[in-house]
Amino acid sequence: MTKGLFSKEAAVPGSAKWNESILRFGTLYAKEDEIRSEFNRDYNRILHSKAYRRLKHKTQVFYATTNDHICTRIEHVNHVASVSYSIAHFLGLNTELTGAIALGHDLGHAPFGHVGENILRKLLSTAGLPLFWHERNSLHFVDHLETLPNLDGKETNLCLCYAVRDGIISHCGEVNENAIFPRTEPIDLYTILQPNQYPPFTWEGCVVKIADKISYLGRDIEDALSLGILSHEQLSELGSIVEGIKKVEIHQISNTLLMNDFINNLCGMSTPEAGIQFSHQYLDLINKVKDFNYRNIYNHPRLKHYQAYANMVLESLFNQLIQLYGTPAHLKDELKLLEKIYPSLAGSFAYWLMKYSDLDLEERAHTKFGNHLVYQLESRTDYTKAVADYLSSMTDHFAIKLFSELIHF
C-alpha cells in the first residue's frame, strides 16, 4: 500500500476547494491569540455542545441494557472519528476535517435510535411536514439550534464551516456503490431533500461517509454476541460469511478485527482516480454483513417490544404538546396551566420556545439568548417543527422521564 496518495486532494490552505470549504454559516468571533485551524475550532465547538453530550444517553441499537459495555450513540460517533482518522491519515487527507465531521454527524439523531427517527418521520408526515431524516436534522441542529457562549457570555450559534456542515448532511453510510467521489461544486445544503442525493463536497466527507458504515457493522455484531441474542444457526451463518475473507473462530469475531480488515482493504484499494473504494471481495463481504445484521440483529424479535414502547413514549409527548397550539399569548397561558400538572414537560418546553421562538420577545431580550430565532409561533407549521425538534433533541432517559410524568398522578 502506498501512503499519502490523496495528499494533493486534501482540504488544506491553497487547495482548489479551500475558500468554499471554510466559509462559515454566520459570523464567528475571532481571538487575537487563536492558534487553532478553522476545522479544529469546529471540532471544539461540536465537542463542547450540549447535543454532543446528550449522545451518551441515546440508543445506538440496544436500548436499556444492564451491560455497561454496550455501544451508545456517543461511542459510535467516536468510533467513526477513529476510523476516519486512520483512513484520512494514511491517504494524506485533512484529519482535522474528518474529525469535526465525524464528531458532529449524529447530533440530530432522535432518542431511541433509528426507531425514534422512524417514529418522528411518521408523526411529521401525518402532520404534512417534509421528510424527517437524521442527517438533515443534524445539519439543522448545528446551524440553528446548538449554541455556545461568546466572549460576552451570550448564547450564539455554532457558525460551522461549509465543509464540516456538508460532511454532516452527506454522511449517510447506506451506500452500495463500490467507489465514492466528491462532487465538484458547493451547493445550498438545504436543497438536499433526501439521504444520498449528492455525494460530499470533499474527499474527507467521503471518508466519513464510508467510515460510518465500517464503524457500526462490526460493533453491532460484537454487542449482539455480548448479549447472547444470536442462535447457533445464526452464528454458523456469520462464521461462513466471514471465513470467505479470514479464517477465524466465531469467538474471535470482534469489532476490532472487522474494522481493521475493512480499513486496510479500503486504504489499499483507494486512489484519486478510482475513488474511495473496497475491493470487490470486501464490498461483497460488507454487504453480506450488513444483510446479516438487518435480518438477525436490527429486526430481532426482542427489539419489537422496545420499538412499541418508544412509539408510545414519543407519540404521547408529541400529541400532548401539539394540542397546546395557539397564539404566543395563548401558548404562554397553556404552558403555565400545564406546568401545574406536568412541571418538567411544561418547564423544559417553555424554555425551548423562549430560546428559539417569538413566544415572548420582550422577556427574551433580558436573557442570555443571542442566537437566531427559528420558529414564528403564529405558524402552525413552525410550532409543529418546534415540537419535533424538541423531541428529537432528547435523550432516551429524558423522554422516558417526561412520559412517566404524563402517566403518573
pLDDT of the residue at 175? 62
Query: Taking the CA of residue 50 as centre, how many other CA atoms within 13 Å lie in the half-sphere pointing to its CB?
Result: 10
Q: What is the mean pLDDT of residues 349-371?
A: 97
Q: How confident is the model at residue 247 (pLDDT cuts 50, 70, 90)?
A: low
Using an 8 Å Cβ cutoff, are 224 and 241 in contact? no
Angle between helices 232-243 and 280-293 (to 10 degrees): 170
Using an 8 Å Cβ cutoff, are 72 and 111 in contact? no
Mean predicted lDDT score pLDDT of the chain: 94
Short-list 102, 82, 213, CA closest to 164:
102
- Residue with more model confidence, 253 or 384: 384
pLDDT of the residue at 91? 98
Return the DSSP state at 189.
G
pLDDT of the residue at 381? 97
Secondary structure of residue 59 in the 3-state scheme = strand
Rounded (to 5) percent helix, strand, coil in the chain: 60, 5, 35
DSSP string, 267-318: HHH-BTTTBB---HHHHHHHHHHHHHHIIIIIT-THHHHHHHHHHHHHHHHH
Pairwise CA distance, residues 257 & 172, whole Å: 23
pLDDT of the residue at 241? 87
Lowest-pLDDT range of 62-76, 170-184, 294-308, 391-405? 170-184
pLDDT of the residue at 248? 66
Pairwise CA distance, residues 92 & 11, whole Å: 10
Pairwise CA distance, residues 72 & 269, whole Å: 31
pLDDT of the residue at 239? 85
Lowest-pLDDT range of 45-54, 65-74, 331-340? 65-74
Secondary structure of residue 327 in the 3-state scheme = coil
pLDDT of the residue at 133? 95
Q: What is the mean pLDDT of residues 196-204?
A: 96
Using an 8 Å Cβ cutoff, are 101 and 204 in contact? yes
Pairwise CA distance, residues 292 & 386, whole Å: 37
Provide the phi-psi class of 4: left if phi over 0, else alpha when psi is between -120 and 50, else beta.
left
Whether 80 shows a pLDDT value over 70: the answer reads: yes
pLDDT of the residue at 35? 94
pTM of the predicted model as reported, rounded to 2 decimal places? 0.96
Whether 131 shows a pLDDT value over 70: the answer reads: yes
Using an 8 Å Cβ cutoff, are 108 and 394 in contact? no
Q: What is the mean pLDDT of residues 35-63?
A: 96
Amino acid (one-letter) located at 243: E
Return the DSSP state at 109.
P
Q: How confident is the model at residue 176 (pLDDT cuts 50, 70, 90)?
A: low
Pairwise CA distance, residues 324 & 335, whole Å: 8
Short-list 156, 303, 152, CA closest to 224:
303
Lowest-pLDDT range of 172-181, 188-197, 274-283? 172-181
pLDDT of the residue at 218? 86
Whether 55 shows a pLDDT value over 80: the answer reads: yes
Secondary structure of residue 72 in the 3-state scheme = strand
Amino acid (one-letter) located at 296: N
Cell 474511495 belongs to residue: 276
Mind listing the domains of the chain with CATH numbers?
A: 7-107+146-298 (1.10.3210.10), 302-407 (no CATH)
Q: What is the pLDDT of residues 96-117, one digit of tens each?
A: 999 999 999 999 999 999 999 9
Q: What is the pLDDT of residues 255-295, one digit of tens each?
A: 777 888 899 999 999 999 999 999 999 999 889 999 999 99
DSSP string, 125-182: HHTTPPPP-HHHHHHHIIIII-EEE-TTS-EEE---BHHHHHHHHT-------S-B--
Return the DSSP state at 24.
B
Cβ within 8 Å of residue 145, ≥6 positions away: 51, 356, 374, 389, 393
pLDDT of the residue at 165? 98
Pairwise CA distance, residues 95 & 85, whole Å: 6
- Three-state SS for 225-242 is HHHCCCCHHHHHHHHHHH
Most confident listed range (15-24, 175-184, 249-258): 15-24
